[in-house]
Amino acid sequence: MAATMHYKLKPDDQSARTFPLREVVRKRVQHYYRMVSQEGLRPEEVYKLIMEETECPMIEATMDFTGHNQSRSARILGLNRGTFRKKLEQYNILNEKADAPLK
């Protein structure tokens, strides 16, 4: 099932309750703004920050979900296999798996 099917292309109230990722992100961004403001700082380049902070854990979670099946993970994320492989290398995800002790 494609991710867009969860939201019927655009999230509605029902999908937000069923798949609350959108709401989780909204609340965390609001929390970030509150924390930054309390410190007397001005947020800058927040879009870039969010992309940099979320891409790696999103890929790691997807790899865990698929049992580290790269093709399936790439398909779930909507990336071609070559781009996905570059992301795995960029975040050193393949090496982390290889270095993990065997169970």
Whether 36 and 53 map to the same domain: the answer is no
Whether 23 and 58 map to the same domain: the answer is no
For residue 3, tell me if it sits in a domain.
Answer: no
Residue 57, pLDDT score:
97
Q: Is this prediction's pTM over 0.85?
A: no
Whether 78 and 103 map to the same domain: the answer is yes
pLDDT in tens, the chain (103 residues): 444 445 455 556 666 667 788 889 999 999 999 999 999 999 999 999 999 999 999 999 999 999 999 999 999 999 999 999 999 999 999 865 544 544 4
For residue 1, tell me if it sits in a domain.
Answer: no
Tell me the residue type at 20.
Answer: P
Q: What is the CATH classification number for the domain harbouring 74?
A: 1.10.10.60
Whether 63 and 30 map to the same domain: the answer is no
Residue 102, pLDDT score:
42
Range of the domain at 25: 12-43
Residue 22, pLDDT score:
86
What's the domain count of the chain?
2
Whether 55 and 97 map to the same domain: the answer is yes
| Nearest C-alpha neighbor of 29 from the set 18, 43, 11 | 43
For residue 31, tell me if it sits in a domain.
Answer: yes
Whether 57 and 103 map to the same domain: the answer is yes
Contacts of 11 (CB under 8 A, 6+ apart): 22
Whether 39 and 50 map to the same domain: the answer is no
**SS3 label, residue 7:** helix
